Amino acid sequence: MEDNILDTDQLLPYLFVLAVLSTLAFFLARYLNFTKIPQVIRHNHIRLIELILGTLIFFLFPVIVYPFFIKGMYYLYTGIELDARTKIPFHIHRYVVLGVPLSSLFGLMFFFLSWERGLLRRVWGKSGEKSIGYHWCYGVLAYLICLPFVQAVSGSLNLLISFFSEEALKDEQTAVSLLKQFMYKGDLNIVIFIFLVYAVAVPIAEEILFRGLIFNYMRRYLSCSKSLILSAALFASLHYSADQGWMNLSLLASLFIVGYFLGYLRERQGSLWAPIGLHMTQNAVSTFIIYWGVRSSMAV
């Protein structure tokens, strides 16, 4: 990972890259007609009970399956039954931790398929005349439009924080610290598993919850702008952690912008494919940067 503190030597290159990204985003947005919603999107109604159950499953299902998952992984690796006195080896524990987002996704899919026929279709939305690939690629390109806003806000806030305390900028996002630990002591298999979890499973699970359930439910009662702001605020707050210290300020502000773009894509494109495309790209790039930083530090 690159250092969060921008000194004088770093500031000018940073501003130059930001200017280039902003110019690219401007022309790309014009080319894609990004600011224009082509038609009135019909939102599928999500009932309150479905919203509550889906949210509970997202957060509580991993807690329920965690004991069974860790016992299964331990038996798979050792062939021995796990008991209360056994200390879980690190190479097994990391797979269990990474399996938590997968259990949220599996829990949601089980709920959609067993609750009511058509619920998944209502949550996911319709792609219209365009193909699924078109909507997904639209989300990938939208990442390039979103990126300058995120970098401008996070860079400005980090610079502001550095005026008060440069030590505060050494705090990292909890997930980033965890992934670094796993990558430092991991082989190629764990790296591939990390990419699959954080670049595929996490975006799908979070988009189902925040844009498929929460945003959809809000649009039934609120305007588009209010729904975008509230759902983005909830999305950002999910990533809060006291361990992140002052970095919560720039992190949550950046994720609020990302959440706003994700909600806008759901509104504009009418389904989850576009926001999933943006979210996958965001997480894949972030995970690759973490991996590159770890490999570079190991090579020194």
pLDDT band at 3 (very low <50, low <70, confident <90, very high): very low
Lowest mean pLDDT among 51-65, 98-112, 175-189, 221-235: 175-189
Give the max Cα distance, the chain: 61
pLDDT at 168: 60
Residue 7: pLDDT over 70: no
pLDDT band at 174 (very low <50, low <70, confident <90, very high): confident
pLDDT at 169: 60
DSSP 171: -
Lowest mean pLDDT among 11-15, 177-181, 214-218: 11-15
**Helices marked H in 79-201 — which ranges?**
90-115, 119-124, 132-164, 174-184, 188-196
Q: What is the pLDDT of residues 253-288, one digit of tens each?
A: 999 999 999 999 999 999 999 999 999 999 999 999
Q: Which two tokens stand for residue 103?
A: 């259990």
Q: Which two tokens stand for residue 44?
A: 């599928």
Q: What is the pLDDT of residues 114-123, one digit of tens each?
A: 888 789 989 9
Comparison of pLDDT for 48 and 296, the residue scoring more: 48
Residue 58: pLDDT over 80: yes
In this prediction, residues 161-188 reach a mean pLDDT of 73
Lowest mean pLDDT among 37-41, 139-143, 178-182: 37-41
Model pTM? 0.88
Residue 38: pLDDT over 70: no
| Average pLDDT score, the chain | 84
- Distance (Å, whole) CA 158 – CA 166: 9
Strands (E), 10-104: none
Q: Which amino acid is at 29?
A: A
Q: Which two tokens stand for residue 64?
A: 């329920």
In this prediction, residues 52-57 reach a mean pLDDT of 95
Comparison of pLDDT for 252 and 166, the residue scoring more: 252
